[in-house]
Structure 1
């Protein structure tokens, strides 16, 4: 199915099911949000990559206007709903400050399973341990999906977008598995280097080489 949607391009990737808080301060997006909230319409967030609007984006709905300021600025809560592909960007819309796009709505698999899910979540937890961070997902680890953990797996913006473009859960989990498999040894190496640097100048208890070893 194709249709027209208002768009709010941002330098972020939003996943279906994600809760996203936004502070709205530009006039064009104050208008967009006010209209969408009043008319209970959704809008699209296509990621901006290297100063260009990406082809695949996420349709979001406004769940709450938390605060409205005297000058029209707003704090809002939104939720990612589904994916779309931009067919054509409409830069100028009569009587509107914001832009829009003709989009094709995409079917994505959220209920698929991966046989590696426990290993992938375990690897993410190991990455967090190395980085000294903690993340509570408020659900059991064995029920986590790719969209739950993608933002917490040290992906670059471009890598988060690559994962967004994968429409099957097993493909997304495999992407995360390979990424974590590459990333953890790098982070572990940095941690070892930090410990080595911190030890520099301290008195070290090191065993000397045994010249009689093997004789």
Structure 2
């Protein structure tokens, strides 16, 4: 199915189900948000990676306009709905300040495995322990899926875009598991290094080497 949507390109990756707060200040996007909220229609956030407009993005809906300033700027909350693929960019729309796009929505297969997701969540907790950070998933662990935790594990924007382009939950789970398999050993080694540095210059109890073995 193809569809026309207004678009708001941003240098971020938005995942389906994600809640995103935005401060709207450009006239074209003030118009876009006001219309979408009034007409209860979604808009698209195509990903901009390394200053390049990418083919994939996320359809989002405006869930609330939290504040409207005297100059028309807005604080809004949005929620990711589903991934789209950009087919054609429509730069100019009659009587509109914003641009639009013809898009299609790739089918997504929910073939994830609960035991694999549990391993991913366990790995994220270990990652956070090593980083000494605390995160709230805002969902019971048994309900978590790959997109729910992706922003909690230090992926760069290229990796997040790769994840957005995986249309099977099982593939996304495997991707996150491999990422954790790379970064956790590195962080663990950094922890050991920190411990060694802390010991430098301090009195330590060490066993002497005995030549008469």
TM-score, structure 1 length as denominator?
Answer: 0.93
In structure 2, the residue matched to 1:152 is 152
> Relative to structure 2, which stretch is displaced further, 203-212 or 53-62?
203-212
Root-mean-square deviation (Å) = 1.5
Q: Deviations over 1:30-72 (max 9, x none)?
A: 1111111111111001111010111111000000000000101
CA distance in 2, matches of 1:68, 1:185: 47
Unaligned runs of 5+ in 1: none
TM-score, structure 2 length as denominator?
Answer: 0.94
In structure 2, the residue matched to 1:65 is 65
* Alignment of 1:140 onto 2:154: no
Instruction: Find runs of 4+ consecutive structure 1 residues off by over 6 angstroms.
Output: none
CA distance in 2, matches of 1:114, 1:167: 17
C-alpha displacement of 1:85: 0.2
* Alignment of 1:12 onto 2:25: no
Provide closer, same or farther for how the CA distance between residues 148 and 21 of structure 1 changes in structure 2, counting only shifts above 3 A: same
Q: Deviations over 1:148-169 (max 9, x none)?
A: 1110111111111111111111
Checking the alignment, whether the CA contact within 8 Å between 2:110 and 2:170 is kept in structure 1 is no
Give aligned pairs, total: 213
- The aligned runs of 1:1-215 (5 Å cut-off) are 1-110=1-110, 112-212=112-212, 215=213
CA distance in 1, matches of 2:92, 2:194: 52
Checking the alignment, whether the CA contact within 8 Å between 1:114 and 1:170 is kept in structure 2 is no
CA distance in 2, matches of 1:31, 1:210: 80
The alignment partner of 1:201 has SS state of: coil
Checking the alignment, whether the CA contact within 8 Å between 1:114 and 1:169 is kept in structure 2 is no
